[in-house]
Amino acid sequence: MSTEVMPRARVLIAKPGLDGHDRGAKVVARALRDAGFEVIYTGIRQTPEMIAEAALQEDVDAIGLSILSGAHMTLFPRVLEELRKRGLGDVLVWAGGIIPSEDVPKLKAMGIAEVFGPGTPTSETVAFLRRALAQRAAHA
């Protein structure tokens, strides 16, 4: 199976909640852009509704949620619900940031495809997205 990125795959990078630290999100956005993805960065302090609406308006293939505040178990389910409300339940959603390892299985069970912690090389995120989007395209 090819792991080439989909032509002009569109990725939304979002910072849900009140967390104002976005250096990691910007680093990931730059790495994805350099790898050939089309990246839309929403900026900080986004509500789940704002993230879902941006995903709808931008017609994205994937969404990366970045969080450092510890509110992931509250905000991520709300983002997923808002996506479903807009008919975007099939959009690939992954996360990064400060997320305790015991929460990762719970997040994956609710629909977060992958979780990356601090210090993860951006090449791992790029490889994950290429693989996951290629698999989705093969099954479409």
Residue 104, helix vs strand vs coil: helix
**DSSP 8-state class, residue 92:** E
In contact, 92 and 113? CB cutoff 8 Å? yes
CA atoms within 13 A on the CB side of 8: 2
**Cβ neighbour number for residue 2 with a 10 Å cutoff:** 9
123 pLDDT tier (thresholds 50, 70, 90)? very high
Q: Residue 2's pLDDT is what?
A: 46
Contacts of 119 (CB under 8 A, 6+ apart): none
Q: Residue 8's pLDDT is what?
A: 78
7 pLDDT tier (thresholds 50, 70, 90)? low
pLDDT digits 0-9 by tens, 42-84: 999 999 999 999 999 999 999 999 999 999 999 999 999 999 9
Domains and CATH numbers, the chain: 10-138 (3.40.50.280)
Q: Report whether pLDDT(140) > 80.
A: no
What is the pTM assigned to this prediction? 0.93
Please report, as a single letter, which amino acid is at residue 53: E
Which candidate, 105, 102, 60, 54, places its Cα nearest to that of 82? 54
> Encoding tokens for residue 88?
């975007």
In contact, 69 and 87? CB cutoff 8 Å? no
**CA 126 distance to own-chain centroid:** 12
